[in-house]
């Protein structure tokens, strides 16, 4: 039996790993030790083999039903659970799940990260043959492309790189805790950069695309039971405050209305699960209306599993289970905390609390073993869907993916494409951009982010294949490039303004690369203001004033900054927002500046003025409350001044729209008996209309888009809906669809949107139920509107 373990492996690290599995069996240990030491001495190779169960060279494998791949996975998982002792069961309820040597089951690490590329930590090691992975732009920039197919391809590339890592023995798990799809509700949030922005439809589409790409799309011919890698929708729910003004995510109790929950906080998660078929979900640290997310039966079991049909595993955010008792005082003892999360429907604890207190909870009869079995069924099902119980993984559909598929030309080009397509042109006075390649003989590149490398990646990044800083990118266009950092770092407590000004004066054109980095916005750190840090503004205006021509301002940042000063300054000709653009970011920026790329990105968040910070970050209300001066949040509700709006984004071309055809312009509900009159408008509940009615009433809106400029470009078309007379907490407008179209100069094309009145012309009422209101609803694209009347 011992021999079976190391026979498949070729490296010493494998032997050592397998030996650990046998540590309970003294005889085996001794034999293995002998052989292992021998092997270590004789042939240590760089690569190691991936961990897997059900090795066919182990004679016992044939007797295990859980190894029998002709059986259904649910049967196999149940069989496995029936063989486990209570201690073994409890050892599986934490992220570092122990090996079960007597059954040939290796250890499993549930915790791995791949927010925008594979990160090196926990389940993932870059210490073997593979030393780096493709680092895509931080999600907030990728979102700005409004390109669901691009998001899908990024997920797919990360999934392929994961299999290469696993095959090379560098992945102890393939369950990634991404995407982060919380709504970017407040501009100060340190983790807003990780999300697809403030709109629930965008966040939902992003989730579906990324999850399907990463997991391997069973909707396009793949098998439902097979996962390329596992994605996890996080952080469920209403989590979007890390540490602001002394209030942190561990203690925060988010007070959320049913209406906001229904049309803002929950929709991305619902899409991620129902349409994306994500195999993982993470419950968040915070409480929602008093109840810790991980201990909320209504959320985890009734809503997610019951209503949305979730069939994956639910993990706690790290150490969230301990908070339930230790910090939040929601449970009366550690055992009560453990019982509360498992009975709520959570399956695995990122941490060790369940390991420590699980058994005593059973002994004290606070927790039944069947509750543990329920969780284990979800956990082993996911491991089996990943193919980890099918014997030698070389045979699996992903077994032939080699290290050459990591950082491949294809993936690196995709990272560049994502950066290009996300970059947003916010200002371009007198068509300063693009700069002429032939006529720009000298260039000054100034600012603390000008030669940025790590900053390009944002947080949750792994080691990238390479870096191209903005300076390097620009140097490839202009030989005579002068560089000055202006400030020592992004915080910029002091600036060497005179020196920077001298450099600027010598150049034909000046590019300033400013903004934020992880010292300003990050996990556990929300911002306290919305302005550029330190002396950055002073540096920008001084350089702009001294330069020969209006300057180009590039902002690297995840969350928005109030740059009204630059918007209105005629010495600043152009402004580009480049998020954190990933490993190829500098190339994408340079290509955009010199016109090898026509920018098409559009802002995925509202850019608020700096006085927005007088609103407490803890106020979760989306809707404005005029009597108290509360302005509401995001483009859907915020009533105050804006620096830039959601969807803003210029191009070197100009695009125009026409409604080409829309059917119908009247929509009859035919259900007058169910219409209710409330606050002077009558409405019908969508659930009363029924799915058959909703399906039958789907309609098409075709929009003609024309590129009236002189340059070809890719353009995201955003279609909104608004009610002519918005009331009852309706959004001012709501994005209902977006599609990209590539158009040559002077070219036109039709873009079709299929809309469902029940989904797109309805709103959430105060109870969180979707209702359709009589009256005029307007489809809106650019400056064009098309009315549709809803009639009883």
Ligand X SMILES: *[C@@H]1O[C@H](CO)[C@@H](O)[C@H](O)[C@H]1NC(C)=O
Alpha-carbon torsion (450, 451, 453, 455), positive or negative = negative
Q: Identify residues 726-765 at the interface with ligand X (CB under 6 A).
A: none
- The gap from C-alpha 231 to its chain's centroid, in whole angstroms, comes to 10
Please identify, using beta-carbon distances, which residue of 426 and 443 lies nearer to ligand X: 443
Contact with ligand X (CB under 6 A) among 26, 41, 42, 70: 70
Question: In the stretch 11-30, what mask flags binding to ligand X with x, by CB under 6 A?
Answer: --x-----------------
- Taking the complex as a whole, the smallest distance from the CB of residue 367 to ligand X amounts, in Å, to 33
256 within 8 A of 290, measured Cβ to Cβ: no
Q: Is 317 a catalytic residue?
A: yes
Closest distance of CB 659 from ligand X, Å: 30
Strand, helix or coil for residue 300: helix
Burial class from Cβ neighbours inside 10 Å (0-12, 13-18, 19+) for residue 222 reads: middle
3-state secondary structure of 742: strand
- The C-alpha atoms of residue 559 and residue 315 are separated, in whole angstroms, by 27
Q: With binding defined as CB under 6 A, does residue 476 bind ligand X?
A: no
Nearer to ligand X, 267 or 729 (CB): 729
* Residue 390 makes contact with ligand X by CB under 6 A: no
Beta-sheet pairing, 253-254 with 291-292 = unpaired
Q: How many helices (H) and strands (E) does the chain have?
A: 24, 28
Q: Which of 23, 62, 224, 225 binds ligand X (CB under 6 A)?
A: 62
Please choose, out of 124-132, 292-300, 714-722, 749-757, the segment that lies near ligand X by the rule CB under 6 A.
124-132
132 contributes a contact to ligand X by CB under 6 A: no
Query: Rounded to 5 degrees, what are φ and ψ at 487?
Result: -130, 160
Among 51, 101, 128, 599, binds ligand X (CB under 6 A): 128
Least distance in Å: CB of 17 to ligand X? 7
> Is residue 127 a contact residue for ligand X (CB under 6 A)?
yes
Nearest to 6 by CA among 30, 35, 34: 35
Q: Which of 466, 558, 576 is nearest to 518 (CA)?
A: 558
Least Å distance between CB 166 and ligand X?
A: 14
Calculate helix-pair angle for 369-385, 73-82, nearest 10 degrees.
130
Burial of 132 (0-12, 13-18, 19+ CB in 10 A): middle
Q: Output the six-digit token pair for 206.
A: 């992003």
Q: Check residue 626 for interaction with ligand X (CB under 6 A).
A: no
DSSP element (H, E) containing 767: none
Cβ-based nearer residue to ligand X, 49 or 195 = 49
- Is 475 in contact with 444 (CB distance < 8 Å)? no
Of 147, 317, 347, 526, the active-site residue reads 317
Residue from 10, 56, 68, 541 touching ligand X (CB under 6 A): that is 68
Nearer to ligand X among residue 492 and residue 689 (C-beta): 492
Three-point CA angle 485, 601, 138, nearest 5°: 60
Per CB under 6 A, does 451 bind ligand X? yes
How far apart are the C-alpha atoms of 188 and 185, rounded to whole Å? 9
The site map against ligand X for 575-604 (x = CB under 6 A) is ------------------------------
Rounded Cα gap, residues 345 and 372, in angstroms: 10
The one among 59, 220, 409, 479 contacting ligand X by CB under 6 A = 479
Contact status, residue 636 vs residue 732, Cβ threshold 8 Å: yes
Name which of 208 and 590 has its Cβ closer to ligand X. Answer: 590
- The count of residues interacting with ligand X (CB under 6 A) is 16
Q: Does 641 bind ligand X (CB under 6 A)?
A: no
* Between 75 and 413, CB nearer to ligand X: 75
The window from 64-72, 602-610, 659-667, 687-695 that contacts ligand X (CB under 6 A) reads 64-72
Among 71, 107, 377, 749, binds ligand X (CB under 6 A): 71
- Interface residue with ligand X among 370, 680, 692, 696 (CB under 6 A) is 680
Q: Residue 672: CB partners within 8 Å, gap ≥ 6?
A: 792
Comparing CB distances to ligand X, the nearer of 106 and 179 is: 106
Cis peptide before 179 (omega within 30 of 0): yes
Is 289 a binding residue for ligand X by CB under 6 A? The answer is no
Please state the closest distance from residue 71 (CB atom) to ligand X, in A. Answer: 5
Q: Residue 455, interface with ligand X (CB under 6 A)?
A: no
Site stretch for ligand X (CB under 6 A), options 63-71, 87-95, 378-386, 391-399: 63-71
Q: How far apart are CA 295 and CA 303, in angstroms?
A: 13
Q: Which is nearer to ligand X, 36 or 292 (CB)?
A: 36
Question: Quick one: 455 or 653, whose CB is closer to ligand X?
Answer: 455
Nearest distance, CB of residue 697 and ligand X, angstroms:
28
Tally Cβ neighbours within 10 Å of residue 260. Answer: 24
* Partners of residue 576 on adjacent β-strands: 425, 554
Distance CA 353, CA 333 (A): 12
Question: Per rule CB under 6 A, is residue 469 in the interface with ligand X?
Answer: yes
Alpha helical stretches, state H, 386-528 = 409-422, 470-475, 497-505
In terms of CB distance, is 293 or 485 closer to ligand X?
Answer: 485
Provide the 10 A C-beta neighbour count for residue 569.
20
Q: Which of 210, 42, 188 is nearest to 115 (CA)?
A: 210
Tell me: does residue 125 bind ligand X (CB under 6 A). Answer: yes
Which of 251, 453, 538, 748 binds ligand X (CB under 6 A)? It is 453
CA distances from 645 to 6, 9, 640 (A): 60, 57, 11
628 is a site residue for ligand X (CB under 6 A): no
Q: Which residues are catalytic?
A: 317
Instruction: Note the residues at the interface with ligand X (CB under 6 A).
Output: 13, 62, 68, 70-71, 125, 127-128, 451, 453, 469, 471, 479, 483, 679-680
């Amino acid at each position: 039996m011992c021999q079976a373990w190391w026979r498949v492996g070729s490296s010493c690290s494998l032997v050592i790993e397998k030996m650990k599995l046998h540590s309970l069996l003294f005889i085996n240990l001794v034999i293995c030790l002998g052989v292992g030491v021998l092997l270590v001495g004789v042939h240590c190779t760089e690569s190691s083999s991936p961990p897997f169960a059900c090795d066919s060279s182990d004679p016992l494998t044939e007797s295990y039903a859980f190894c029998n791949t002709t059986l259904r996975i649910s049967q196999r998982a149940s069989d496995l659970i029936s063989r486990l002792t209570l201690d073994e069961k409890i050892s599986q309820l934490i992220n570092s799940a122990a090996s079960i040597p007597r059954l040939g089951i290796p250890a499993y690490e549930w915790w791995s990260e791949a927010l925008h590329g594979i990160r090196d930590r926990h389940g993932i090691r870059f210490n073997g043959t593979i030393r780096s992975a493709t680092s895509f732009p931080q999600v907030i920039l990728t979102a700005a492309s409004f390109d669901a197919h691009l998001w899908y391809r990024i997920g797919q590339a990360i999934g392929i790189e994961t299999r290469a890592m696993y095959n090379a023995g560098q992945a102890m798990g393939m369950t990634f805790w991404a995407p982060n799809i919380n709504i970017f509700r407040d501009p100060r949030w340190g983790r807003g950069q990780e999300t697809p922005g403030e709109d629930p439809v965008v966040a939902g589409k992003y989730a579906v695309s990324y999850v399907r790409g990463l997991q391997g799309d069973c909707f396009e011919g793949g098998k439902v039971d097979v996962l390329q890698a596992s994605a996890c929708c996080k952080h469920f729910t209403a989590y979007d405050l890390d540490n602001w003004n002394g209030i942190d995510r561990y203690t925060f109790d988010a007070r959320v209305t049913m209406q906001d929950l229904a049309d803002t906080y929950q929709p991305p998660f619902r899409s991620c699960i129902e349409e994306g078929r994500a195999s993982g979900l993470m419950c968040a640290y915070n409480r929602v209306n008093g109840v810790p997310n991980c201990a909320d039966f209504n959320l985890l079991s009734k809503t997610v599993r019951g209503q949305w049909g979730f069939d994956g595993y639910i993990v706690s955010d790290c150490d969230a289970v301990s908070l339930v008792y230790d910090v939040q005082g929601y449970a009366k003892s550690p055992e009560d905390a453990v019982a509360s999360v498992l009975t709520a429907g959570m399956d695995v604890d990122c941490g060790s609390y369940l390991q420590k207190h699980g058994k005593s909870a059973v002994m004290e009869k606070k927790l039944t073993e069947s509750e543990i079995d329920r969780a284990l069924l979800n956990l082993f099902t996911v491991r089996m869907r990943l193919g980890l119980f099918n014997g030698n993984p070389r045979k699996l559909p992903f077994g032939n993916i080699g290290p050459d598929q990591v950082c491949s030309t294809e993936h690196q080009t995709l990272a560049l494409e994502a950066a290009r397509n996300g970059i947003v042109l916010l200002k371009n006075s007198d068509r300063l951009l693009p700069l002429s390649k032939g006529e720009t003989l000298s260039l000054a590149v100034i600012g603390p982010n000008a030669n940025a490398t790590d900053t390009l990646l944002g947080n949750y990044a792994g080691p990238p294949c390479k870096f191209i800083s903005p300076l390097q990118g620009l140097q490839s266009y202009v030989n005579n490039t002068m560089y000055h950092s202006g400030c020592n770092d992004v915080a910029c407590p002091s600036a060497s303004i005179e020196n920077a000004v001298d450099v600027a004066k010598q150049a034909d054109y000046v590019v300033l690369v400013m903004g934020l980095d992880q010292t300003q916005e990050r996990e556990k750190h929300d911002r306290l203001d919305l302005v550029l840090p330190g002396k950055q503004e002073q540096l920008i205006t001084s350089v702009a004033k001294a330069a020969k021509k209006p300057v180009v301002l590039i902002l690297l940042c995840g969350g928005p900054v109030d740059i009204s000063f630059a918007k209105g300054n005629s010495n600043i000709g152009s402004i580009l927002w480049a998020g954190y653009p990933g490993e190829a970011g500098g190339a994408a920026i340079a290509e955009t500046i010199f016109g090898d790329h026509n920018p098409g990105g559009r802002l995925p968040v509202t850019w608020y003025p700096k006085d927005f910070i007088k609103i407490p970050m803890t106020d979760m209300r989306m809707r404005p409350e005029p009597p108290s001066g509360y302005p509401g949040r995001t483009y859907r509700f915020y009533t105050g001044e804006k620096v830039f709006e959601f969807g803003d984004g210029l191009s070197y071309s100009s695009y125009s729209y026409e409604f080409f055809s829309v059917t119908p312009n009247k929509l009859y509900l035919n259900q007058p008996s169910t219409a209710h009159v409330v606050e002077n408008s009558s409405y019908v509940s969508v659930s009363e209309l029924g799915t058959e009615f909703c399906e039958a009433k789907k309609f098409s809106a075709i929009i003609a888009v024309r590129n009236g400029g002189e340059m070809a470009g890719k353009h995201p078309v955003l279609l909104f809906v608004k009610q002519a007379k918005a009331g009852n907490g309706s959004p001012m407008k709501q994005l209902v669809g977006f599609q990209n179209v590539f158009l040559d100069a002077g070219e036109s094309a039709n873009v079709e949107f299929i809309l469902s009145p029940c989904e797109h012309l309805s709103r959430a009422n105060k109870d969180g139920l979707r209702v359709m209101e009589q009256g005029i609803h307007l489809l809106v694209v650019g400056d064009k509107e098309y009315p549709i009347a809803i009639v009883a």
